[in-house]
Amino acid sequence: MAYLEIKNLHKHFVKTAGGLLSSTHETVKAVNGVSLDIQKGEILGLVGESGCGKSTLSRTLMQLLPPTSGSIILNGENLSELSTSEVRKRRLDFQMVFQDPYASLNPRMTVFSTIAEAVRQRHPKMKGAELEEKVIELMSTVGLEASQMKRYPHEFSGGQRQRIAIARALAPEPKLIIADEPVSALDVSIQSQILNLLKDLQRDLGLTLVFISHDLGVVHFIHQKTITPSACSPRSRSCKARDPQYHRGPKTENTAPAF
């Protein structure tokens, strides 16, 4: 059985067309019939152009957006059928690394407070020296110094902030990490450091990793198998996992490929 199964997943948005007083509604099919499966400990690269629904898919997988239809099954449990409180508890097993590390971090919280808060989600009774030791361990894991724990996000570079975000994602001890464009906001010189860090963490911790990017070269570097818009069947509207060697597919300048 696959660790993560996505079956015929749809996420549609309804918007008013023609202005505020118009009664005409338009349905935007951001995610349209995605079916795929990911084995435990596997890296899945999801690559596509901007506007094709990658980020909407990632947020739907995280249950930050409710699916319109379809199912998301994690380790045999259908997340789509859980209540909000049940999803919150289950989310300890799957965490997300967002595109913009500065926007995803609370500017009023120190590194210690940020990571400690995430640690206590899994271990609510942990405190004092034990909690501090755990935070230091996580910081070391992502390449940060213990002396930096009392600093705030604005005191770090973009690459360092993304390391903090990764440490926070690791703090609840998840089995699945969804990384949504985690290096696109970083300088090219820093991107390789974060990519190598993610690969090392996936190997050392046995994580299942869904890596999302618009850059085929980045995904090619980190992936074990890749899904691209060109891998979608025009009849079934269902994406199938494939492992192309730099397969780019047809040009899509004038169309927004839908997953």
Per-residue pLDDT tens over the stretch 133-192: 999 999 999 999 999 999 999 999 999 999 999 999 999 999 999 999 999 888 888 999
Q: What is the CA radius of gyration of the chain?
A: 19
What parts of the chain have a pLDDT lower than 70? 17-23, 224-259
pLDDT at 92: 94
Distance separating alpha carbons of residues 36 and 46, to the nearest angstrom? 11
pLDDT in the model for residue 19: 62
- Residue 48 has a pLDDT of 82
**Within-domain flag for 239:** no
Inside any domain, residue 127:
no
Note whether residue 160 is domain-resident.
Answer: no
Model pTM?
A: 0.83
Q: Is residue 248 part of a domain?
A: no
What range does the domain containing 184 cover?
4-14+26-100+175-231
d(CA 52, CA 222): 21
250 in any annotated domain: no
pLDDT of residue 110: 97
User: Is 37 inside a domain boundary?
Assistant: yes
Q: Which amino acid is at 6?
A: I
In this structure, is residue 77 part of a structural domain? yes
What pLDDT, on a 0 to 100 scale, did the predictor assign at position 60? 94
Burial group, residue 230, by CB count within 10 angstroms (0-12, 13-18, 19+) = middle
Q: How far is 34 from 8, CA to CA, in rounded Å?
A: 5
**Domain count for the chain:** 1
How many whole angstroms separate alpha carbon 200 and alpha carbon 210? 15
Residue 23: predicted pLDDT: 67
Q: Quick one: pLDDT at residue 253?
A: 33
Q: In what order do the strands lie in the sheet with 77-78?
A: 24-38, 4-17, 69-74, 77-78
Residue 181 domain flag: yes
Q: Which CATH number goes with the domain that contains 200?
A: 3.40.50.300
